[in-house]
Amino acid sequence: MDDQMLAARLHGTGDLRVAQEPVPVPREGESLVRVTAVGICGSDLHWYSEGGIGDARLTRPLVVGHEAGGVVASGPRAGQRVAIDPAVPCGHCELCLAGHRNLCPTVGFLGHGATDGALRELVAWPDHLLHPVPDALSAADVAMLEPLGVAIHAHDLGHQRAGATVVVVGCGPIGLCLLQVARAAGATTVLAVDPLPHRAEAALRLGADAVLPHEPAAFAAALAERTSGRGVDVAFEAVGSDAAVGLAIEAAMPGARVVLAGIPDVDSTTFTASTARRKGLTIALVRRMKEVYPRATALVERGTVDVRSMVSHTFGLAETEKAFQVAHARTGLKVVVAPTDDV
């Protein structure tokens, strides 16, 4: 194996460079993985267009990308196709021991802070975070397991009951996964909201009963018609804007749960407190995901959730800059970069 590889490294806002770098050396308990597909996430776009995400800022050139899969390149698992769980919790703090690995205060994360991400040909990663995947899943399917995992975690936070009425505000990849998970979990009505026509079409194709208008007055009227004035049992927001949060709160019936999965461009979220208070809403915020890769894999393998049709663009590693531009324009659904062939 060569001692050099290609990597796409973000040097500053909009400054993404693909260059040769040394191949990482696995430490004890790690394997070297040849990366076959990386999905570009909304959080990656924050890094690219804003130089950070929330209160985390770019302090050094960083390889981003955390929705990834590949093939183990060496060692006893060589040749095994795997999904890469991007979060490395400590495993022994109070939160980890309580089952909240996603809330570990010292978690390391692929493509965040001091940890370089997956937009490179090879990654060294802990063995216990490399999940085997069946051959029926394509390389892009495997990369899509991470956003599906976030959607599963968000759905868990919604405490949806069988027969429930649900709205999903925002039909990017996570929103599209969410509406499919909600339907699979027994929702009898799944409503969607997205102003982009191609996303609205995808929502209908993937199981939404209707796409409601996003203008507040028209939304309220359409919601009342669809729910007989009752509202929904669970509202999921997957945009990151105050307007989207407002629609989710408007849609929720009294006593409902509102789950906020979107990440705002500015580090704040504002909504009308009186509406949420008078309805007695429970508002939950999504922090990545817990141990959900086996569930995500099973849902895709069985065809319960369709992630393949969400991949609208695929680029090689040398075209990573173009891939980010396409993803930022939001003209498609999921943009995937393929650093190496799926061997």
| DSSP assignment of 282-343 | EEEE--S-SS-HHHHHHHHHTTSS--GGGEEEEEEGGGHHHHHHHHHHT-SSEEEEESS---
Beta carbons of 286 and 153 less than 8 angstroms apart: yes
Handedness of CA 57, 61, 65, 66 (dihedral sign): negative
Residues 6 or more apart from 96 whose CB is under 8 A from it?
A: 89, 90, 104
What domain range includes position 274? Answer: 150-285
Q: Residue 343 — very low, low, confident or very high, per pLDDT cuts 50/70/90?
A: very low
User: What does the pLDDT average to over 189-215?
Assistant: 98
Question: Based on the domain organization, do 122 and 158 belong to the same domain?
Answer: no
Strands 130-132 and 122-126: unpaired
Question: Based on the domain organization, do 226 and 332 belong to the same domain?
Answer: no
Asked if pLDDT for residue 216 goes beyond 90, the answer is yes
pLDDT at 133: 98
* Residue at 174 is within a domain: yes
Question: Based on the domain organization, do 120 and 247 belong to the same domain?
Answer: no
Q: In CATH, what number is assigned to the domain containing residue 223?
A: 3.40.50.720
* Residue at 141 is within a domain: no
Q: Residue 176 — very low, low, confident or very high, per pLDDT cuts 50/70/90?
A: very high
Q: What is the dihedral of CA 274, 276, 277, 282, to 10 degrees?
A: -170
Question: Which of 73-77, 234-238, 251-255 shows the lowest per-residue confidence on average (mean pLDDT)?
Answer: 73-77
Q: What is the dihedral of CA 125, 6, 80, 91, to 10 degrees?
A: 10
Whole-number percent of the chain with pLDDT over 70: 99
Question: Based on the domain organization, do 334 and 235 belong to the same domain?
Answer: no
Question: Based on the domain organization, do 329 and 276 belong to the same domain?
Answer: no
* Residue at 202 is within a domain: yes
Number of domains in the chain: 2
* Residue at 96 is within a domain: yes
Question: Based on the domain organization, do 260 and 201 belong to the same domain?
Answer: yes
Question: Which of 51-60, 168-177, 330-339 shows the lowest per-residue confidence on average (mean pLDDT)?
Answer: 51-60
Question: Based on the domain organization, do 192 and 254 belong to the same domain?
Answer: yes
Question: Based on the domain organization, do 111 and 176 belong to the same domain?
Answer: no
Asked if pLDDT for residue 334 goes beyond 60, the answer is yes
* Residue at 343 is within a domain: no
pLDDT at 59: 86
pTM greater than the 0.85 cutoff: yes
Straight-line distance from the first to the last Cα atom of the chain, in angstroms, rounded to the nearest whole number? 15
Question: Based on the domain organization, do 311 and 253 belong to the same domain?
Answer: no
Give CA–CA dist 90/43, Å, rounded. 23
pLDDT at 265: 84
Q: In CATH, what number is assigned to the domain containing residue 58?
A: 3.90.180.10
